[in-house]
Amino acid sequence: MAKLISAEMIEKTLKGIAIPARPQALLHLQNELKKGDPDPRVIVRLVVGDVGLSAAVLKTVNSPFFGLSRKISSVAQAVSLLGMKAAAQIVTGLVLRAAVGGKEPSLERFWDSAEKVAGIASYIASTIPRGPRDDAYCFGLFHDVGIPILMQKFPDYRQTLALADKDSSRPSTAVEDERHATDHATVGYLVAKGWFLPEAICEGILCHHDPLVFDDKDSINPQALTLIAINAMAEHFHDDYFFLRGNNRWGMIGARVLDHLGLQDDEYCDLREDLISMFK
């Protein structure tokens, strides 16, 4: 699927749109993870050197979605309990928020929702055999990162989202393409590629609004499809509980999501009840 992004499409998408550069701190972290025996002290030093990032990491790991048996009071404890990869994914997501208008009041609701969806996705993944919990959390944060970028570029982009939300007959990206000659999935894919995220995450971001993604499974990385499925369920649960509204996309793909994840109706209901108890 990634091959569908041609050089011409990239040039058109990037025209007048500022893709945030990968922060230097993230580069150091990714280089450490590539080593055969990465040193957890590297990520600890990176995080504790930033008071805001330290507080955000502790707030995240102490949320009910991570299911820790006790409250964590230090970054070193968090890294030790979660592991290098999980901690790195959390840091990557928090750095992303800071890099893409994280301090703008107008985007607070967007990022708060993204963090909740990421936490729900992480929990869902933990209940599935060999579920990609770490990548599911990162995907939950990154999958819609193109939205705040396009909000900053196009003054009428919020109107576009509202129109797309009302039109349940086609994916929202189709409405975006009509009005802005690009869409948030393509922009998000370019951010993820530029930040050297795992290929499955990049491909999943690009395809997460493709209505045919579950019908042509041979055309997409299986891990990417699993991330799309987990995230679709997470968004459905999030919208249903926090916004008290249905999710049009879930109505179209819900049955195929459950089939792909191997979940029966009773397992879906149990998972839903578990998450509701966490929200309370």
Per-domain residue ranges for the chain?
2-20+105-279, 21-99
Distances (CA, A) of 211 to 10, 175, 216, 239, 249: 22, 14, 10, 19, 9
Q: How far is CA 49 from CA 55, 62, 66, 101, in A?
A: 11, 20, 24, 21
* Whole-number pLDDT of residue 246: 63
35, 168, 202, 228, 257 from 252: Cα distances, Å: 43, 9, 23, 14, 10
Q: How far apart are CA 181 and CA 190, in angstroms?
A: 15
Torsion angle, alpha carbons of 89, 209, 12, 191, to 10? 0
- Distance (Å, rounded) from C-alpha 161 to C-alpha 172? 7
Average confidence (pLDDT) per 10 residues, the chain, 280 residues: 53 67 80 83 82 80 76 84 80 80 72 87 88 87 90 89 82 88 90 88 91 80 93 90 70 88 90 82
Q: Is the pTM of this model over 0.75?
A: yes
Per-residue b/e over 2-16, b at no fewer than 16 CB within 10 Å?
A: eeebeeeeeeebeee
CATH numeric code, 2-20+105-279: 1.10.3210.10
Q: CA-to-CA distance for 232 and 131, rounded, in angstroms?
A: 15
Contacts of 169 (CB under 8 A, 6+ apart): none
Phi-psi region of 50 (alpha: psi -120 to 50; beta: other; left: phi over 0): beta
Predicted pLDDT at 2: 41
The answer to whether 12 and 181 are in contact (CB under 8 A) is: yes
